[in-house]
Amino acid sequence: MGVDIGTSSVKIVEFSRKGDKLELTNYGEFVSEAERALYSSSVKLSPNDTARIIKTIIQEAHIISTDATMSIPVFSGFSTVISLPDMSDAELDRAVSYEAKKYIPLPLSEVQFEWTRLENSGNASVATDPIPAPRGKVQDFTAKSDRRDILIVAVTKELISKYQKIAKLSGLALSHLELDTFSLARSFAANEGSNLIIDIGSRNTILSIVKGDWPVFSRTVEVSGYELTKLLASSLGIDFSRAEERKKKKGIDAGADVILPLLDSIFLEGRRIIDEYSRKKNIKIKKAILVGGTARMPGIREHAAKTIGLEVVVGFPFSGIIYPKELDSTLHDLGPSFSIATGLALREFR
C-alpha cells in the first residue's frame, strides 16, 4: 500500500498483482477540518494522531496489506542534483559526502542521506533503518561525457523515527520512505520526455520538472487550494465551506478577480521554471500535468495552458490500473489528489 501523509489529509491506495497487470483493491482517505493542518512546515507531525487516522482508514476501507511505503512532504526533506567528475563508487561516496555538506543545511550526523548516479531506471528513497539503501541508477539525461549528475536525498533522523513510530502504531511494516515529488513522478512515468508537474495542495504548491520517473528540479510556492478558498470566502462575505463548494462547482468563475491572480502566480512561476531549466539543460518540456484536489476545479486547466503556453492535462494516476468500471467517474474525480499515494503503491511493483 501507499500511504500519503499530507498537510491536511491522509490517503491510502492498495494494489495487488493480477497476471501482468496491477489491480486497485482498495483506497481510502481522511480529510481534516478546513482550518486544521495535520502537518506543515510549522505544524509538527503527531505519530499518535496520524496512526489513529491510518488505522481508521484501513478498517473502513477493508485494506488487507500491511506492507507500506510512505511519503514525506518535500518541505520536510531535501534533494538536489550535483555534477561530479566520473569516478568509481568508492571515490564518489567520499566526494558526495564532502559535497553534501555544502547543500544540506544541517550537520550530516543529524540526517540520513543517500545518493545515486543518474544513469539507469531505479528507485530512490531514504533508508528506514541505519543500513544504507542500495544505490539505484536512473537515466542519464543531463550529464556530460566526463561528468555525472548525482542525486542527493536527505531527511532528518528525527523525522524518520517519527514515521517508524507511525508505522508501528498503525500495525504496518514500513518498507520505504521517499519525498512526495518522487512518488508524483512515478505516477506519471509513462509520459514521454520531460514534463512539469504542478501539485496544488491544500497548504502549498509543488512545481517539479520530471524526466521519466525522476524529479530533477522542484520548487515550492506558498499558494494553495486553502488560500484560494479563504480569499474567495473573504471577498464574497461567506463562510469557508460555502466558498469551497462554490469553488468546486464554478471554478475560476466563482470569483475570477480574486482567484486568477493567485493561480497566475503559480503558473507564471511554472513558466519561469520551464524557461530556466530548458535553457540550462537544453531540454524541451513537453507538457504540464495538474494534480492535487484543485486540479479538478472547472476552468483551471484551460487557464493554465493559456498562461504557461504548453499543453496542460489533469493527471490521472490510475491509468493502466485495473479497477471496477463503476468506479471510473469517481476515480477520475479523485485521481489528481491520489497521485502521491498511487506513486507510493507502484514503487513495490517497479
Task: Return the pLDDT at 282.
Answer: 85
Angle at 169 between CA 166 and CA 171, to 5 degrees: 105
Is 34 in contact with 244 (CB distance < 8 Å)?
yes
Question: What is the DSSP secondary-structure string of 186-252?
Answer: HHTTTS-SEEEEEEE-SS-EEEEEEETTEEEEEEEES--HHHHHHHHHHHHT--HHHHHHHHHHHGG
Q: Which of 94, 304, 56, 69 is nearest to 187 (CA)?
A: 69
Rounded CA-CA distance 189/200 in Å is 19
pLDDT digits (tens, 9 = 90+) for 102-160: 888 888 889 888 888 875 434 555 444 332 333 333 333 344 457 878 888 889 999 99
For residue 281 the three cell numbers come to 539543460
DSSP state of 132: P
Task: Return the pLDDT at 121.
Answer: 38
Task: Return the pLDDT at 118.
Answer: 72
How far is C-alpha 82 from the chain's CA centre? 21
Q: What Rg value do the Cα atoms of the chain yield, rounded?
A: 20
- 61-92: burial string, b at 16+ Cβ within 10 Å, e else: bebebeebbbbbbbbbbbbbbbebeeeeeeeb
Q: Is the domain defined by 2-73+159-188+318-349 classed in CATH 3.40.50.720?
A: no
Query: What pTM does this model have?
Result: 0.87
Task: Return the pLDDT at 86.
Answer: 83
Domain boundaries, the chain: 2-73+159-188+318-349, 75-157, 194-314
Task: Return the pLDDT at 271.
Answer: 96
Q: Which CATH number fits domain 194-314: 3.30.420.40, 3.30.70.1380, 3.40.718.10, 3.40.50.620?
A: 3.30.420.40
Query: pLDDT digit of tens for each residue in the chain (350 aa)?
Result: 999 998 888 999 999 999 899 999 999 999 887 556 666 555 577 899 999 999 999 999 999 999 999 999 888 888 888 888 888 888 888 888 888 888 888 888 898 888 888 754 345 554 443 323 333 333 333 444 578 788 888 899 999 999 999 999 999 999 999 999 999 999 998 887 899 999 998 888 999 999 888 888 888 888 889 899 999 999 999 999 899 999 999 999 998 899 999 999 999 999 999 999 888 888 889 899 999 989 999 999 999 999 999 999 999 999 999 999 999 999 999 999 999 999 999 998 87
| 111-117 β-sheet, strand order | 77-85, 147-156, 111-117
